[in-house]
Amino acid sequence: MERKTAHDFDQELLILFDAYVHGALDRRGFLDKAAKFAVGGVTAAMLLDQLSPKFLEAQVVKPEDARIKVEYLEFDSPKGYGKARGYLAQPAKAAGKLPGVVVVHENRGLNPHIEDITRRLALDNFVAFAPDALFPLGGYPGNEDKAREVFPKLEQAKTREDFIAAVQWLKARPETNGKVGVVGFCYGGGMVNYLATQLPDMAAGVAFYGSSPNVDDVPKIKAALVIQSAEVDERINASWPAYEAALKAANVRYERHLYPGTQHGFNNDTTPRFDAASAKLAWERTLAHFNKHLR
């Protein structure tokens, strides 16, 4: 069966799904509002299933791939939740020390898609580490709906400290060259922007459709940034002009790419919002940015 893309769905339905994914609508609310798009034997529940992630179908690098080694590791986060955990992926045979990249997930914790992205970075010769913000609450629950329910229960002040600790932990690992970048998606894109304001030794950041940081903190940014934006993403793009003005005023090194016709989440190849051409270009730019600033 051919996989559906965003173009197979009404734009209003995609906006409803975005609201559902980000907690503005619950499942029942989505199904009620989506009912008017359910035609020709398709139910609202079927539409939700079509829009939801297909992790195994989309997997690019298998966990057992012999070219990499992967493991779950705990690290200390004294200012955060105390103990945190993440997924470390690196080349099986590395020649010398490699740059580190912290991968920050969406608002569902460390799901199989983010683990796959972490493995892809290992194949591209990085030591990649993806913390699971949900670890203090039992970890990613294996189900996107459950993850979405649990995520708002995190104390974000502690979670932010966990991500700060993750960057510092990876930077200090013996396998890394001491240079660390951060890439994140959606919630994680916002975290990239935030971490850049908090970590003067963060070398590079790539924020996929993430919320802007506090503009008053922008002058503290030392990292070189790439901002990857979806064109059809009013919720996130609304804050860009003020963020850009602050970046320019502070002489922060940044570039921003807006991908025509794309939806929020266009890099996520497990859902129909995936845009193959834009995702490929955005990922090439991501790797080029990290290769330039971390090696």
Instruction: Measure the CA angle with vertex 226, ends 223 and 230; round to 5°.
Output: 150
**Among 282, 277, 284, 210, residue whose Cα is nearest residue 6:** 277
Q: Which CATH superfamily is domain 65-294 in?
A: Alpha/Beta hydrolase fold, catalytic domain (3.40.50.1820)
**Among 59, 43, 60, residue whose Cα is nearest residue 51:** 43
Residue 214 predicted with pLDDT over 60: yes
Give residue 11's pLDDT: 86
Please report, for the chain, the start and end positions of each structural domain, with discontinuous segments joined by +: 6-51, 65-294
**Among 229, 231, 169, 232, residue whose Cα is nearest residue 201:** 169
Q: Read off the pLDDT of residues 63-88 as tens digits, 9 standing for 90 and up.
A: 999 999 999 999 999 999 999 999 99
Residue 2 predicted with pLDDT over 70: no
Separation between Cα atoms, residue 180 and residue 167, nearest integer Å: 7
Q: Read off the pLDDT of residues 177-213 as tens digits, 9 standing for 90 and up.
A: 999 999 999 999 999 999 999 999 999 999 999 999 9
Mean pLDDT of 113-127: 97
Separation between Cα atoms, residue 216 and residue 184, nearest integer Å: 22
CA distances (Å), 199 to each of 18, 65, 203, 290, 295, in order?
Answer: 30, 33, 9, 17, 19
For 178-212, give one letter per residue: b (16+ CB within 10 A) or e: ebbbbbbbbbbbbbbbbbbbbbeebbbbbbbbbbb
Separation between Cα atoms, residue 160 and residue 211, nearest integer Å: 14
Residue 3 predicted with pLDDT over 80: no
Q: Read off the pLDDT of residues 128-137 as tens digits, 9 standing for 90 and up.
A: 999 999 999 9
**Among 127, 126, 146, residue whose Cα is nearest residue 138:** 146
Give residue 54's pLDDT: 79
Give residue 173's pLDDT: 97
Give residue 48's pLDDT: 85
Q: Read off the pLDDT of residues 142-179 as tens digits, 9 standing for 90 and up.
A: 989 899 999 999 999 999 999 999 999 999 999 999 99
Q: What is the mean pLDDT of the chain?
A: 94
Separation between Cα atoms, residue 260 and residue 278, nearest integer Å: 8
Residue 55 predicted with pLDDT over 80: no
